[in-house]
Amino acid sequence: MSRNKKLLIWAGVINVLFTAFFIYGITLMLNNIDGFADQLKEIFLTEYGFTSEETAEMLNLSVTSFVGSAICNGLCGISNFVFAFINPKWFIKLKFVNILIAAVNFASGMNFISAILVCVACFSRENQYQPATGTYQTQMQQPIKPQQGMSPDQIREQLKLKGMAEKIELVKHLKAEGSINEEEYCKLIDEIITNGVKE
């Protein structure tokens, strides 16, 4: 799992927690659980010197604010999970939309933690645009350039050091440049898949 994906999943989880917190706060105020609303009224009346009407208005504003924050965090959480699992190419194309959503989450959702995680994921160097090929690649998936004229043993040694996807790319590259024939290509692919399943 890439670092960007982890960051976005964590941002989504934190948004869900913030949503739950705001819903809990709304429930406390509306149902006056454990005298929560009464305590707030007392604070507004005694410490801030509000009138009864101003206190009622402040409580209504607090509930409205909590509702807005809960909705904002919920929607931003869904957005985080969507961006975590979309194609990396689309993630990069839409990264400024994601940053805008993070800014709204910070301002309206009062959630700076998720906003920071999303911004770190968006400005990460993990994803790079390759202008020559017009493709998006992560640093872990840089093109493999095997040495020409490698022996079968050298090929197998190099394959040991790579992940399954990289091994397949290497074998494809060797076949394309003519270093191995079709039979060797099929044999190596079978070995890679068999060993990958065993691991």
- Whole-number pLDDT of residue 143: 47
- Whole-number pLDDT of residue 170: 81
23-32, 68-77, 123-132, 147-156: least confident range: 123-132
Alpha-carbon distances of 47 from 25, 40, 65, 75, 163, rounded to whole Å: 21, 10, 21, 36, 64
Q: Work out whether the CA dihedral 89, 94, 96, 102 comes out positive or negative.
A: negative
- Whole-number pLDDT of residue 160: 65
**pLDDT tens-digit map of 92-102:** 888 899 899 99
Q: What is the mean pLDDT of the chain?
A: 82
Name the pLDDT band for 17 (thresholds 50, 70, 90): very high
**pLDDT tens-digit map of 133-176:** 444 444 444 444 555 566 667 766 666 656 777 778 888 888 88
User: Residue 80 burial by CB count (10 A; 0-12/13-18/19+): exposed, middle or buried?
Assistant: buried
Q: What is the spatial distance between Cα 103 and Cα 118, in angstroms, rounded to a whole number?
A: 10
Contact at 8 Å (CB) between 114 and 80? Answer: yes
Q: What is the spatial distance between Cα 177 and Cα 66, in angstroms, rounded to a whole number?
A: 62
- Whole-number pLDDT of residue 162: 64
Q: What is the spatial distance between Cα 161 and Cα 150, in angstroms, rounded to a whole number?
A: 15
**pLDDT tens-digit map of 29-50:** 999 998 999 998 999 888 888 8
